[in-house]
Amino acid sequence: MRLFAAVLPPEDVTAALAAEVAALRKLPGAERLRWTGRPGRPRGGAADWHFTLAFYGEVDDDLVPDLSARLERAAHRSAPFGLALRGGGQFGHGRALWAGAEGDLAALRLLADRAESAGRKAGVEMGGHRRYKPHLTVARSRAAYDVRPYVEALDGFTSPAWTVTHLALVRSDLPRSGVPGEQPRYETVARSPLGASG
């Protein structure tokens, strides 16, 4: 199954982001972007908007129990920390538009490093290590696209702050229908409390 470790913002944060994204979608050219998240859809544990900590890709079913146990230990070694969405940016010449983070970014990066290490130690093929850049993807484009107006609009955005209390292991099912713009489906398969928060 296709898996990643993530931090999932609470509903009040995703509601604030949904309102901001609704405004962004009214900007000229917004129809050229594939917008993530499904505002208005019941979350039901789904991770439509998330901070990916470590992407594992396709993981053999035999490795999942060890990966889950290692993530649980990584979460237990990490204290809860404060976070909020703030501002935005882009990757790949506009191929990804994202909301940024503020708060205890050192704790978020440490949790990302621990999630990556858990994957490697469980035998997951991870590829090369990259420095973690906290971001929550709100839109994508197949080709380079000038998203500067969207980044500028996100400059003034700040969500409510929250305390991160869990690390999530999330399954990602890619679209199979071939419908343009269809997004992956996410399912939270495990939630591990940070430190003494559970």
To the nearest 10°, report the CA torsion of 43, 46, 47, 53.
150
User: Does the CA dihedral 22-88-10-103 come out positive or negative?
Assistant: negative
CA-based nearest residue to 14, from 166, 160, 140 = 160
For this structure, is 166 an active site residue? no
CA distance 85 to 80: 17
For this structure, is 135 an active site residue? yes
The H-or-E segment that residue 50 falls in is none
CA 46, distance to chain mean position in Å, is: 11
42 burial (CB, 10 Å; 0-12 / 13-18 / 19+) is: exposed
- Please, are residues 6 and 50 in contact by the beta-carbon 8 Å criterion? yes
Catalytic residues: 50, 135
